[in-house]
Structure 1
């Protein structure tokens, strides 16, 4: 699978642009703020129906305009498929595949899988556990068409139980039968998600370890550990044990919505003791492991988007990374960098052709 063409209209800082790509390595070069990353985000929209950076669709419309449009032509299974995304202010986003509009965006997720590596990924290390759960959910949802539905059901059940806890606090009336019904619903959906996350992590952890070992040449010892309340007790028992606490807090204090990924280096917390280079290497290994997982489970190569990837990486790790992603196990790649010369030199060293686009203030110069 690869992206042949991309067209954007009034998207972020672009009034209009149309590009044709190589099926191997494509690079966008230019100064900071030129619009390189915006092109990666447009590609992200075509695969995952949303921006990688900003959840508010209307804020992607170019200033002073009333709509934005993104369209791409993918070559997949010997066929060309046209994907369209458009939004007018104050209207619902439209998403189409071969001119047929989706009724549910979830039905598109996973058809054109994608992995993006960006400086924003540092949130996986420094922010709360929600960011790390999103990482797991993103990987699973691109290979399991029912997983997003399971998350929707669980979150709805969680909202209902929390509303009941608040109602009990306000009224002082506790109905054990109703609480049991809500608990059963939460347990049923929660257990399904837990089993899928656990199975994913059992496969994913080994892949991650291999990628990190390659990047650092076994010089550093890192660990990636999945932790969930359901690893220590069954969900039904957890809810019963925490009921009084939940009534005081007026929310469900334990469940798969509290799952965590723990990152460590040399036995110490990565967030506190890892250098910027070590943290970046860890994040790159995480995302490359996600890529390998998707490739294995989809049966074809996803797109790989590398935004400002060379910052805080030494030359040795940069060269190893580019050698890795230019290998036969990887498909089409998109890279951004401020230096055209650096891109040319890196790929000259590893003897890999690269298609370079110079970007200036939302314009494609070459």
Structure 2
């Protein structure tokens, strides 16, 4: 699978732009602020129906316009597929495959497997648990429709339960029957999510360890640990035990929506004890493991988006990643960089076809 062409209208800083891509390596070069990252983000948008950097649809529309359109033509399974994502201010976003609109956007997730590596990925280490949960959910959802549907349902039920808790507090009332309905729905969906996350991490962590060892030549020991209260007790028991607390807080304080990942180096949190270089290597390994996992499940290479990759790794490490294309371990790659000569030097070494787009 590869992206053959891309057309943008009123997307972020672009009024209008069109690209015809190489099936292997594509380099977007130019000064900061010209829109290199926005091109990569539009490809991500084609895959997930939303921006990697700003999920608020209206804020991805060019300031001087009322709508945006992203169109892409892909070669997939020896067939050409056309994807369109469009949005107008005040209207619902539309996603079409071969001119047929999706009834549910979730049906599109996973059709174009994509992995983005960006400087903003540092948030996975520095920010709170929600960022790491989104990472797990994003990887699993690209290949597991049941997981994605259960996640959507679970989050909806948590929001409904939270609204009920607020209603109890505002009206000094308590409705056990309605609460039990939400508890039951949370338990059913939550147990499935917990089970799938455990299974995913059992397969994912060894892949991650291998990738980290490749990047660092096996210099340090790193680990990923799954943190969930469901290891202690079933979700139903946790909800019952924490009911009084939830009544006071007016929100649901336990469940898989509170799960987290612990990232460690030599037995200590990498957030506090890892150098910038170690953190960068950890993140690259995390994303390459994501690539490997999706590839293993789908039996096809995801599109790899490398945003400002030289900010994260030295030239030798970037060369190593690009060299994987020559070994057919990776498929189509998009690289953004401020230095055209540096980028071209690296991609030439791969002995693969490439295109350079100067923005």
Q: TM-score, normalised by structure 2?
A: 0.96
Deviation at 1:301, TM superposition (A): 0.9
Deviations 1:148-172 (A, max 9, x none): 2211211121122222222332333
Q: Does 1:8 align with 2:8?
A: yes
Q: Does 1:170 align with 2:167?
A: no
Deviations 1:281-317 (A, max 9, x none): 1111111111111111111111000000111423443
**Partner residue in 1 for 2:117:** 117
Deviations 1:94-116 (A, max 9, x none): 21111111111111111111010
The correspondence of residues 51-70 of structure 1 with structure 2, limited to 5 A, is 51-70=51-70
**Partner residue in 2 for 1:50:** 50
Q: Aligned partners of 1:349 and 1:74: how far apart in 2? A: 26
Q: Is the 8 A contact 1:208 1:289 kept in 2?
A: yes
Q: Is the 8 A contact 1:168 1:174 kept in 2?
A: yes
Number of residue pairs aligned between Structure 1 and Structure 2: 359
The correspondence of residues 247-266 of structure 1 with structure 2, limited to 5 A, is 247-266=247-266
- 5+ residue gaps, structure 2, are none
Q: Does 1:104 align with 2:126?
A: no
Q: Is the 8 A contact 1:129 1:260 kept in 2?
A: yes
Deviations 1:329-353 (A, max 9, x none): 2110000001111112112334344
**Partner residue in 2 for 1:364:** none
Deviation at 1:63, TM superposition (A): 2.5
The structure-2 alpha-carbon separation of the partners of 1:63 and 1:248, relative to structure 1 and needing over 3 Å to count, comes to closer
Instruction: Say which SS state the counterpart of residue 310 (structure 1) adopts.
Output: helix
The structure-2 alpha-carbon separation of the partners of 1:8 and 1:247, relative to structure 1 and needing over 3 Å to count, comes to same
Ranges of 4+ aligned residues in structure 1 off by more than 6 Å: none
Deviation at 1:325, TM superposition (A): 4.8
**Partner residue in 1 for 2:149:** 149
Q: Is the 8 A contact 1:215 1:321 kept in 2?
A: no
Q: Does 1:297 align with 2:293?
A: no
**Partner residue in 1 for 2:24:** 24
Deviation at 1:180, TM superposition (A): 2.5
Deviations 1:120-158 (A, max 9, x none): 111111111000000011111110122222112111211
Q: Is the 8 A contact 2:291 2:302 kept in 1?
A: yes
- 5+ residue gaps, structure 1, are 360-366
Instruction: Say which SS state the counterpart of residue 70 (structure 1) adopts.
Output: strand
Instruction: Say which SS state the counterpart of residue 62 (structure 1) adopts.
Output: coil
The correspondence of residues 330-341 of structure 1 with structure 2, limited to 5 A, is 330-341=330-341
Instruction: Say which SS state the counterpart of residue 65 (structure 1) adopts.
Output: coil
Q: Aligned partners of 1:60 and 1:167: how far apart in 2? A: 35
Q: Aligned partners of 2:177 and 2:93: how far apart in 1? A: 42
Q: Aligned partners of 2:354 and 2:298: how far apart in 1? A: 26
Deviation at 1:40, TM superposition (A): 0.5
**Partner residue in 2 for 1:362:** none
**Partner residue in 2 for 1:208:** 208
The structure-2 alpha-carbon separation of the partners of 1:282 and 1:90, relative to structure 1 and needing over 3 Å to count, comes to same
The correspondence of residues 78-97 of structure 1 with structure 2, limited to 5 A, is 78-97=78-97
Q: Is the 8 A contact 1:30 1:340 kept in 2?
A: yes
Deviation at 1:327, TM superposition (A): 2.9
The correspondence of residues 176-187 of structure 1 with structure 2, limited to 5 A, is 176-187=176-187
Q: Aligned partners of 1:298 and 1:2: how far apart in 2? A: 14
Instruction: Say which SS state the counterpart of residue 146 (structure 1) adopts.
Output: helix
**Partner residue in 2 for 1:230:** 230
**Partner residue in 2 for 1:327:** 327
